[in-house]
Amino acid sequence: MSPHVRLPQPLRRSITLGVPVACVVAMAVAATATGTTTPAKTAQPRVVSSAVLDEIPLARFSNSLIPGSVDNDRGVHLGAGSDMYPTSRPNEFWALTDRGPNGLITVDGVKRRTFPVPGFNPAIVRVRVTGQRVRVIRAMPVTTRSGKPVTGLPNQRSRDEAPFSYDAKVPLAFDPNGLDTEGMVRAEDGTFWLVDEYGPSLVHVSARGRVLTRYVPEGLNLRGTDYPVVEALPSILLQRKQNRGLEALTLLPGGDLVMALQSPLLVPDAAAGEASRNVRLLRFSPEDQEVTAEYSYRFDPVDVVDPAQTDPSELKLSALVAVGENTVLVQERTDRTSRLHRVRLPRGSGILGSRWDDPRTSPSLEQIEDLPGAGVPVLAKELVVDLGKVPGVPGKIEGVAAVGRDTLALINDNDFGMTDGPGAFDDRGRLVDSGLNTGITHVKLPRPLRG
């Protein structure tokens, strides 16, 4: 069977999120006893539609793409909320799964990374929004040069989390081909670009899903892959936090790519990275196959992004959206809420190749509170929308797309319905579903995205 197939009509969840949430701005005015009127309220961002991804058993989905890849899905269903990118058709998007269902279970005081369905393979899916329903209409697995699954398993024993079975009892094998897929765009030639958290890496994928080239940091020394690996990213990226590598990606109108780390680097150590609010963006030229600029970006305080949160390590950068020749939207989030800022990328190479790319620099970029005062150029930003103040927007938004001059499409990651801890599965090894769904939400803004 070809790995690039059209799926049969998927099973539909018998329950949905209910009536679509819509917040209508009041336009009427109320007369008072004296005959005066109350002015109309200022227009606010509002949800205009919500739709839920069909419930598709993971074994059925995976085996339709790679026959025999999953023998037991443990009751897990498809999730495809790592990112989204518009197609040329209204209400259709390319969406991306991540590495597959995974969780954490603590054993003897040590957290173990579990992979309940190790045969799952990351996939690119095309989805269509129809009313309250998101249907998968096309899907293809991400494969190696010879057409084998890349898998979602960690690459290197020396730097990645060790993989375990669903109950954290049985060690699993590492796989140098494995990808923890996150951000995604589709180029004009029909190929895809993805970013990955393991390397971290930038991955060029053919229109049929095969990895053409994986670009990794200098010094990674990744061996044994069934596709070309090029060390073209700054070596400082080797200091990425576990499970917080390259997360966001966008395509500028001129053809360059902009990618971002999910979290600050651990420079000079984990304590500095966990406390930092300084994260890095990079510009990459597909034509020259090299990074041409690196930018410093500073998160807002965590309690500004999420008033219920006090831990700065919960800040994450999960999405980038190009809205101009050199202008992007940057999403700052926690797992509960997020905000989008408009940022203009300056000319020049920024901090690329400077002392801030040297892990021996003290204090490190990650340790600096006043970046301009230390002579570090930092991207200026303008708040576009606080999604936490828009009723009907779900948590853990990981993909954002611009659709029209003033509308955003958002996709949330439901983590395949998984939770952490031994209670994620019952005594039969079947998923205790969290009840969260992946869905696509459209939000209309009161002002154009381009600003």
Of 228, 222, 231, residue with least CA distance to 210? 228
Phi then psi for 174, rounded to 5 degrees?
Answer: -75, 160
Tokens for 301? Answer: 């305080």
Share above pLDDT 70 across residues of the chain, in percent, rounded to a whole number: 91
Look up tokens 């500004």; give the residue. 304
User: Average pLDDT in the 354-369 region?
Assistant: 97
Spans of all domains in the chain: 46-444
Q: Is 171 exposed, middle or buried (0-12, 13-18, 19+ CB in 10 A)?
A: exposed
Tokens for 189? Answer: 């030639």
List the end-to-end C-alpha distance of the chain, in Å, as a whole number: 48
Look up tokens 């899905």; give the residue. 73
Q: How confident is the model at residue 225 (pLDDT cuts 50, 70, 90)?
A: very high
3-state secondary structure of 423: helix
Task: Kindly report the average pLDDT of the chain as a whole number.
Answer: 92
> Tell me, what's the pLDDT at 29?
33
Q: Taking 70 as the threshold, does the pLDDT of residue 3 lie above it? A: no
**CA triplet 279, 284, 289: central angle to 5 degrees?**
140
> Tell me, what's the pLDDT at 43?
87
Q: How confident is the model at residue 351 (pLDDT cuts 50, 70, 90)?
A: very high
| Amino acid found at 424 | A
**Least reliable range by pLDDT among 264-268, 349-353, 354-358, 447-451:** 447-451
Q: What is the pLDDT of residues 21-47, one digit of tens each?
A: 333 333 333 333 334 444 456 789 999
- Report the alpha-carbon distance of residue 85 to residue 187 in Å, rounded: 10
- Report the alpha-carbon distance of residue 171 to residue 154 in Å, rounded: 12
> Tell me, what's the pLDDT at 13?
35
410 and 24 Cβ atoms separated by less than 8 Å: no
3-state secondary structure of 374: helix
Q: Taking 90 as the threshold, does the pLDDT of residue 279 lie above it? A: yes
Phi then psi for 272, rounded to 5 degrees?
Answer: -65, -40
Q: What is the pLDDT of residues 378-431, one digit of tens each?
A: 999 999 999 999 999 999 999 999 999 999 999 999 999 999 999 999 999 999
287 and 343 Cβ atoms separated by less than 8 Å: no
Share above pLDDT 90 across residues of the chain, in percent, rounded to a whole number: 90
3-state secondary structure of 165: coil
Residue partners of 55: CB distance under 8 A and separation at least 6: 10, 11, 12, 13, 77, 78
Tokens for 280? Answer: 């890095």
Q: What CATH number is given for 46-444 in this structure? A: 2.120.10
> Tell me, what's the pLDDT at 41?
63
Instruction: Tell me if the bond preceding 268 is cis, omega within 30° of 0.
Output: yes
The pTM (predicted TM-score) of the whole model is 0.90
Q: What is the pLDDT of residues 59-108, one digit of tens each?
A: 999 999 999 999 999 999 999 999 999 999 999 999 999 999 999 999 99
205 and 179 Cβ atoms separated by less than 8 Å: no
Look up tokens 């701005």; give the residue. 25
3-state secondary structure labels for all residues of 171-191: ECCCCCCCCCEEEEEECCCCC
Q: What is the pLDDT of residues 14-25, one digit of tens each?
A: 333 333 333 333
Pairing of strands 92-96, 123-130: antiparallel
> Tell me, what's the pLDDT at 38?
45
Q: Taking 80 as the threshold, does the pLDDT of residue 192 lie above it? A: yes
3-state secondary structure of 100: coil
Phi then psi for 61, rounded to 5 degrees?
Answer: -60, -50
Greater pLDDT, 30 or 316: 316
**DSSP letter string, 225-248:** -SS-EEEEE-GGGGGPBTTBSEEE
Ramachandran region, residue 289 (left: φ > 0; alpha: ψ -120 to 50; beta: rest) = left
**Least reliable range by pLDDT among 4-8, 76-80, 266-270, 349-353:** 4-8
